[in-house]
Structure 1
Amino acid sequence: MSWYQDNPIMQPLQTLLHQREGSLTRALLQQPAGFGLGQLPQSQLPDATTDMVCGFCSTGCGLKVHLKEGEAIGLSPTTSYPVNLGMACPKGWEALRVLDAPDRATTPLYRADKNGRLEPVDWDAALRLFTGRFRQIQEKHGPHSVAFISTGQMPTEEMALLGAVAKFGMGLRHGDGNTRQCMATAVVAYKEAFGFDAPPYTYADFEESDAMVFVGSNPCIAHPIMWERVMRNRRSPEIIVVDPRGNETTMYATQHLAIQPKTDQTLFYGVARLLIEQGRIDEKFVELSTTGFEEFARFVNDYSLARTASETGLEPNQIERFACTIHEKERVSFWWTMGVNQSHQGVRTAQSIINLALMTGNIGKPGTGANSITGQCNAMGSRLFSNTTNLLGGHDFKNADHRAKIAGILSMDESVIPTENSWSYHEIMEGILKEKIKGLWIICTNTAHSWINQNLAREMLSRLDFLVVQDMYHNTETAQMADLVLPAAGWGEKEGTFINSERRIGRIKKVRRAPGKALADFHIFQLVAEYWGCGEQFRRWSSPEAVFEVLKECSRGMPCDFTGVQNYRWIEEQGGVQWPCPEGMTAPVQERRLFEDGCFYHADGRAKFLFEASRPLTELPNEAYPFILLTGRGSASQWHTQTRTAKSPVLRKLYPERPFIEINPADARALKIAHNAWVTVESRRGRMRAMALVTPAVRQGQVFIAMHYEGTNQLTDAVFDPYSKQPSYKACAVNVKGGAE
């Protein structure tokens, strides 16, 4: 039991939120297939069903969509799908409802004057404006003065077509995705350690672990169906949470290691030293399957128990118990999400977790692994096939053999493939300030809300000569700044595939018409190619399934090889298919993990120990800004910038409409701040208003605000991991003031 679970002064708002979400989720989980449809008149009952995967998070749940005359009228979880086993979270249940919002983008919109209004135009005019303005910018400022920012929320086939059209057809060198905000750290950590971006686990590992270590991860809220898999574990596992803040997951923890913010890297080095000193390593696995262990052992010798306790704020006995648990349990799995990835030293922190798994042999076996949980529904597809920082299929733009291979598959001149990597998201944004990027195409993401240091981000966007936003909704914060808005179809209104956290390829389908003149992103990209004059290059890319066949060939011979996937229908018949699935694998096991043979993807077949001295926070508290701000998910019913979840009346009832800030009771007393009182939160970059939630869930000197609210990123500091270029959203210095303004 954790202190959070049995504390009698647990504050009412947090408790209420947990009870409301928990009760609704349990009620929904217990409903039979077709829940709610029985109340419809007989004439409106479904006449058919079809299966597809959810379009919110990376869990990749299977949903059964109920159809009437070919149009979706309801949904329920698919009981046989190996991911969710008949369960769905509130977002999944409401996935269709958010498509019916009155503020859907239904026609192209153009702002003729920077100070004018967006006015409707037809598609022909919109595409002529798009291509004409971008060509003018390139002619005036150079071929690389236009860039694009993509997303992890489109089907793989769409993001691949976008990346190919933009880079091979339009000649745009620079393009990145919003996966840079959530998964870049894990990508780089895996590539450097394993030789490829390869999350090794399957969801069955949640049920088969003897100990689960969650680092900067709150799956009870962020990935509730994964948490349901944890609850199915019959091995009485230890649940260890490494997080500065008490949260919904720590309520179930057997060990809550409430470290000082961003000291997890120090903790794992200190634990590694303890295990080495006590001879508690898997010497055979280390010798046969890894390199660099001796250097790592010498390095962590500096991380004594006393130093580790001092820097992390933990008691020595907590650290020793943690190390002992890792040694004593047969199957230990390590899981991390944004608390690690969104850090100034995220890559090395992720690798400190990987090092613990390697040195104890906890990888490649049931219930083990160094496991990064992905964020967006198709961030895995983006990581492999968006053609942004990787060449299609996990290839390398800088590798001549890789360029030749992809050019041959695509029947294109090799000269159209860039020979260097794109700028990352933050380099593209900084390029605007440096007047090197003058035109930007933003697809299915909300930069003006979600990018770090929001006020500066909006200043950057305002400096563009031409901003094109392609989205489902015409009133996102970014669309309101656009010169041209292109209306796009959403999940359920188009075809394609997603790849979930455990590398499972799943289908999405068109089960209803997009509103007005909105088009699938796939068709918008085709039209852009035609109007740009490069359409002939992409004749083979005639449909999402045709592109899927192209991508299969791009994957051939790579760790992510899925040439054995026969077609879309076969994916459904198999209940989704995890990669790798090379040609000849006719009936893959539904749940497979990587590295069962102890072989990795480096040329020598070994994994690498990688390490670097841990560094303090980049912005420390001081007299003017005495608190450390923590950010994270606030509710299982919210999603990112709330662009979609705010459209559902049901979901809106399940989370606070107004921003709230968690503050420790001692700090609240010192500042004379009452529970539910309005306060002002201020950093060096901006300020926001929030309601005070007085709770011991946060320590003294720390506060927490959910990431979903528009004001949160007015506070955050634009600091980036040096290797992954991922923003450090999770910790900066702020002040809190009570009273009205």
Structure 2
Amino acid sequence: MTQTINTTCPYCGTGCGVTATVDGERISVAGDADHPANFGRLCVKGSALDQVMGLEGRLLHPRVNGRRTNWDEALDLVAQKFRDSIAAHGPDSVAFYVSGQLLTEDYYVANKLMKGFIGSANIDTNSRLCMSSSVAGHKRAFGSDTVPGCYEDLEQADLIVLTGSNLAWCHPILFQRIARAREQRGGRPLVVNIDPRRTATSEIADLHLQLAPGSDVALFLGLLDALRRARKADKTFVKRHTEGLSDALAEARQWTLARVAETTGLPPHDLRRFYDLVIAHDKCVTVYSQGVNQSSAGADKVNAILNTHLYAGRIGKPGCGPFSVTGQPNAMGGREVGGLANMLAAHMDLDNAAHRALVGDFWNAPAPLPDKPGLKAVDLFKAAHDGRIKALWIMATNPVDSLPDADFVRDALKKCPFVVASDVVEKTDTNAHAHVLLPALAWGEKDGTVTNSERRISRQRPLRAAPGEARADWRIICDVAARMGFRDAFAYKHPSEIFAEHARLSGAKNGGARDFDISAHAEISAAQYDRLAPFQWPAPAGEAPDDQPKRFFADGKFFTPGRKARFIVTSFRAPAATPDAQHPFVLNTGRLRDQWHTMTRTGDAEKLAQHIAEPFAELNPLDAARLGVEAAGLVRLGNARGEVLLRAQISERQRQGSIFVPIHWTDQFAANARVAALIAPVVDPVSGQPESKAATVAAQAVAPAWFAFALTREKPAHIDAAYWALARTPGGWRIELAGLAPLADPEVFARSLFCVGDCELTALRDERAGAFRCVAAKDGEILGAFYLAPEPVAVARAWACEAFAAPSAPLALLAGQPPRDARDPGRKICVCLNVGVNTILDAIRDKSLISVEQISDATGAGTGCGSCRPEIERLLHNAAQAATV
């Protein structure tokens, strides 16, 4: 029987609705046309969700010290170790490190167990790494962690300022909503893109400000003063509904145009144009993300932005306001339940005695709730390293690859007496150091809720039964809680019961005193929960359901003690580390279009490896020339913490003196690309968020003795090369390789990659050129191909991958190039429609195409999810420039 099930995407914080069609074992996905976040559109990652549901590599059974066991033994051991540690060393000797990948129900019970029943606030989340500076900024200004606006504001604005946000790649559906609005409204909203790199997002921008890394506060201090000089204050709003303006303006007055230009490195005429645009457009939205948050001054950057909106009264109204977009599918849900070490459930405050008493009484907690914040992410792992944390439970995250100073984190896990990991994948760089592994449900198996960046709560629904012995995270937590003596407080039988309790707590003694209130769902039944449609909070009890967009602060009522918003003085501070002779480059890290976090999910999707298949370091051409780094060569980046070895990507879009490296590659997918190992554990003093975009590094050109490219049916268990990066490809795996010493026997090396000994090898050798290539076959099936050269290998990779996937791959594969009557499609730009860069460039040249729409009509590129359209725009621009030379 075919079923259609509406669920929610598990990637970014956009929170797109997904319609899954389940026909037996077969599952296909499409955008949910009725979901108000995406109205039927999905990005490339969302459209490939059916490819990440395989069971290869899944953790399907509990394991203790590497040995398969049963649930009772594993849970008994976890409960015993936590009880023993608490008895011997107190509740602060244990900790949970959780994740924005958890559902709200999972998050809720984890927070309840740690803060309410264990009696410690030592629960923090990987969301600390992406949006805690926004939380801190919101609370300082508004008295609450409130995102004021809605997605509709992006379409209704006349000006959008995108700062520290590569929206085109990191939140593609929101980017497409903006692009569509511009098409329909004759170029409105205008877009300003503020980023040290020219990214795909820059393609839509009317103005790109390539500011110096970390100089955002100076830029927005200058904007506040420009608004003052232009007399753009909303005097009535400021007088009635805010406080602290005079001190904030006194700081801003010091930031003349000349001083801002000197600090940011921006030309004064670009600054003047930016300030004039903001002054001229009251309907202005400022969208910000990791480029603002991931900073040792992240909270001040947020408040510098908020100050400009408060001053001009541009908040709480259609088409205007500050807008923090979150990186994870349930970062917002984690904030709602108090998943951060310094928060309480239902947006209540840990440092508020009345709130602690309210939550403690509601939970019937055995002792008063902790009255001090727990250890935030970076400090939590320092405590594990120095012995203060004796038992640590990691849920749905991979800190050995994602936290700063990642090698230190790995050492901390080695030293910690007891480490538990709940995960869906067995082999991760973190799980290698866990004493107990607990198999959790993956997307498509989970049942619960998530909250997106506009405060909209949606359901994730199961598409299939749990595989193996995997269990829901909330169930695992409750089973441990019961064994620790708290059975009655965690006796939930269904996630709807947890959601209902969460809703009741949100309304307890609220009456509008707190922003978060979903008490309209306090009595929700399992059947109602199953049918729950996406809704935006607040949704207090007794209020009639309303599908209209909900904005905060239109009435000027905030959640500070005096109900007034606060201007925060933000003094400019440079990043903690500044380039010097030993480490002259600023290292910027971030996400790619088609990958997600540490690739535990997206690494399984062959479709998602076609765009970018290996890690890289993006350098400015002048920096590359000075270092002697050649395109497609290798570059080593390093500092006192470690080093990485990466493919060089040379681009004028990179700011001189800066290097960009994606965050996704781990020891599971590359030889040495864990870029977080180079990031210092420097944090914002207010938010505790690490500074992940301003490390300093040295860069060195590396001259390998050989380069190679390989295709294999099986994933090699071990690769003996200084540089390698592997990725899924149709029919197997593709591998980029390089070595620092000559290969003793290329044929033996190739066979080790193919994972077969008994096969027929067709080989070509050129001893003089130092080249070797071979194709391995057995019983008529191609098992692998290997191409070796002393320089980056000239293989038509996209064509070779397609030929390798064919049922009978041709011996032409040995040549590494298509036959004369065929064309290499080139690197895939549009993976939805399988359109490569060469196909697009050929169409532009042969048909004299001048628009993305014409390219889409001619090739199909950009007609799927649309995530590739900015890159197509760039190809079109480059082709036009080349034609005029």
Structure 1 length as normaliser, TM-score?
Answer: 0.90
Q: Pick from 703, 727, 737: which aligns with 2:690?
A: 727
Q: Pick from 593, 596, 600: which aligns with 2:551?
A: 593
| Aligned amino acid, residue 649 of structure 1 | E
- 1:649 maps onto 2:606 in alignment: yes
SS of 2:49's equivalent?
A: coil
CA distance in structure 2 between the partners assigned to 1:720 and 1:90 by the alignment: 33
Tell me by how many angstroms 1:570 deviates. Answer: 5.8
CA 1:649–1:143: 2 relative to 1, 3 Å: same
- 1:457 maps onto 2:409 in alignment: yes
Q: How is 1:29-178 mapped onto 2 (pairs within 5 angstroms)?
A: 47-68=2-23, 73-111=27-65, 118-178=66-126
Contact 2:60/2:469, CA 8 A, preserved across alignment: yes
Tell me by how many angstroms 1:544 deviates. Answer: 0.9
Q: Pick from 197, 214, 219: which aligns with 2:162?
A: 214
Contact 2:297/2:575, CA 8 A, preserved across alignment: no
SS of 2:161's equivalent?
A: strand
- 1:538 maps onto 2:490 in alignment: yes
Contact 2:585/2:698, CA 8 A, preserved across alignment: yes
Contact 1:72/1:512, CA 8 A, preserved across alignment: no
- 1:551 maps onto 2:502 in alignment: yes
Q: Which moved more, 1:97-106 or 1:436-445?
A: 97-106
Tell me by how many angstroms 1:708 deviates. Answer: 1.4
CA distance in structure 1 between the partners assigned to 2:466 and 2:548 by the alignment: 33
Q: Which moved more, 1:420-429 or 1:341-350?
A: 420-429
Task: Tell me which residue corresponds to 2:832.
Answer: none
Tell me by how many angstroms 1:420 deviates. Answer: 2.4
- 1:297 maps onto 2:249 in alignment: yes
SS of 1:382's equivalent?
A: helix
Contact 2:230/2:279, CA 8 A, preserved across alignment: no
| Aligned amino acid, residue 698 of structure 2 | N
- 1:192 maps onto 2:140 in alignment: yes
CA distance in structure 2 between the partners assigned to 1:571 and 1:322 by the alignment: 47
1:443-478 deviation per Cα after TM superposition (whole angstroms, max 9, x unaligned): 001011101011111111111001111100111110
Q: Which moved more, 1:295-304 or 1:368-377?
A: 295-304
Tell me by how many angstroms 1:685 deviates. Answer: 1.0
Q: How is 1:499-518 mapped onto 2 (pairs within 5 angstroms)?
A: 499-518=451-470
Tell me by how many angstroms 1:357 deviates. Answer: 1.0
Tell me by how many angstroms 1:330 deviates. Answer: 3.0
Q: Which moved more, 1:282-291 or 1:466-475?
A: 282-291
Task: Tell me which residue corresponds to 2:615.
Answer: 659
Determine which structure has greater relative contact order: mean sequence separation of CA pairs < 8 Å that are 6+ residues apart, divided by chain length: 1
CA distance in structure 2 between the partners assigned to 1:259 and 1:522 by the alignment: 44
In percent, how many aligned pairs have the same letter?
A: 34
CA 1:587–1:138: 2 relative to 1, 3 Å: closer
Q: Which moved more, 1:385-394 or 1:186-195?
A: 385-394
Structure 2 length as normaliser, TM-score?
Answer: 0.75
Task: Tell me which residue corresponds to 1:374.
Answer: 326
Contact 1:101/1:647, CA 8 A, preserved across alignment: no
Contact 2:390/2:417, CA 8 A, preserved across alignment: yes
Q: How is 1:81-480 mapped onto 2 (pairs within 5 angstroms)?
A: 81-111=35-65, 118-233=66-181, 234-235=184-185, 236-387=188-339, 388-413=341-366, 415-480=367-432
SS of 1:460's equivalent?
A: helix
| Aligned amino acid, residue 620 of structure 1 | T
Contact 1:327/1:360, CA 8 A, preserved across alignment: no
| Aligned amino acid, residue 549 of structure 1 | A
CA distance in structure 2 between the partners assigned to 1:142 and 1:313 by the alignment: 51
Q: Pick from 572, 582, 585: which aligns with 1:614?
A: 572
Task: Tell me which residue corresponds to 1:22.
Answer: none
| Aligned amino acid, residue 37 of structure 2 | V
CA distance in structure 2 between the partners assigned to 1:412 and 1:627 by the alignment: 51
The alignment's C-alpha RMSD in Å is: 1.7
CA distance in structure 2 between the partners assigned to 1:155 and 1:389 by the alignment: 20
SS of 1:212's equivalent?
A: strand
- 1:521 maps onto 2:473 in alignment: yes
CA distance in structure 2 between the partners assigned to 1:49 and 1:314 by the alignment: 52
SS of 1:666's equivalent?
A: helix
1:96-131 deviation per Cα after TM superposition (whole angstroms, max 9, x unaligned): 3312141100111111xxxxxx11111111112212
CA distance in structure 2 between the partners assigned to 1:165 and 1:338 by the alignment: 30
Contact 2:357/2:369, CA 8 A, preserved across alignment: no
| Structure 2 stretches lacking a partner, 5+ long | 667-673, 705-739, 741-885
| Aligned amino acid, residue 337 of structure 2 | F
CA distance in structure 2 between the partners assigned to 1:669 and 1:538 by the alignment: 62
Contact 2:99/2:395, CA 8 A, preserved across alignment: yes
- 1:602 maps onto 2:554 in alignment: no
CA distance in structure 2 between the partners assigned to 1:620 and 1:369 by the alignment: 33
Q: Which moved more, 1:383-392 or 1:503-512?
A: 383-392
Q: Which moved more, 1:252-261 or 1:286-295?
A: 286-295
Task: Tell me which residue corresponds to 1:40.
Answer: none
Tell me by how many angstroms 1:619 deviates. Answer: 1.2
1:506-531 deviation per Cα after TM superposition (whole angstroms, max 9, x unaligned): 01112212221111112111211222
Q: Which moved more, 1:261-270 or 1:299-308?
A: 299-308
| Aligned amino acid, residue 55 of structure 1 | P
CA 1:240–1:574: 2 relative to 1, 3 Å: farther
SS of 2:108's equivalent?
A: helix
| Aligned amino acid, residue 443 of structure 1 | M
Contact 2:287/2:324, CA 8 A, preserved across alignment: yes
1:597-625 deviation per Cα after TM superposition (whole angstroms, max 9, x unaligned): 22222232221110232111211111111
| Aligned amino acid, residue 595 of structure 1 | F
Q: Which moved more, 1:578-587 or 1:260-269?
A: 578-587
Contact 1:65/1:72, CA 8 A, preserved across alignment: no
Aligned residues: 685
| Structure 1 stretches lacking a partner, 5+ long | 1-45, 112-117
| Aligned amino acid, residue 636 of structure 2 | T
CA 1:559–1:192: 2 relative to 1, 3 Å: same
CA 1:695–1:505: 2 relative to 1, 3 Å: same
Tell me by how many angstroms 1:72 deviates. Answer: 6.3
Contact 1:151/1:443, CA 8 A, preserved across alignment: yes
- 1:704 maps onto 2:656 in alignment: no
Task: Tell me which residue corresponds to 2:582.
Answer: 624
Tell me by how many angstroms 1:571 deviates. Answer: 7.2
CA distance in structure 1 between the partners assigned to 2:240 and 2:88 by the alignment: 57
SS of 2:228's equivalent?
A: helix
1:203-249 deviation per Cα after TM superposition (whole angstroms, max 9, x unaligned): 11111110000111011000001111111214422100111111000
- 1:580 maps onto 2:538 in alignment: yes
CA 1:641–1:590: 2 relative to 1, 3 Å: farther
CA distance in structure 1 between the partners assigned to 2:26 and 2:356 by the alignment: 42
| Aligned amino acid, residue 132 of structure 1 | Q
Tell me by how many angstroms 1:134 deviates. Answer: 2.5
Structure possessing the higher radius of gyration over alpha carbons: 2
- 1:678 maps onto 2:634 in alignment: yes
CA distance in structure 2 between the partners assigned to 1:585 and 1:91 by the alignment: 37
| Aligned amino acid, residue 144 of structure 1 | D
| Aligned amino acid, residue 731 of structure 1 | A
Q: Pick from 574, 584, 595: which aligns with 1:638?
A: 595
Tell me by how many angstroms 1:365 deviates. Answer: 1.0
Contact 1:56/1:376, CA 8 A, preserved across alignment: yes
Contact 1:574/1:590, CA 8 A, preserved across alignment: no
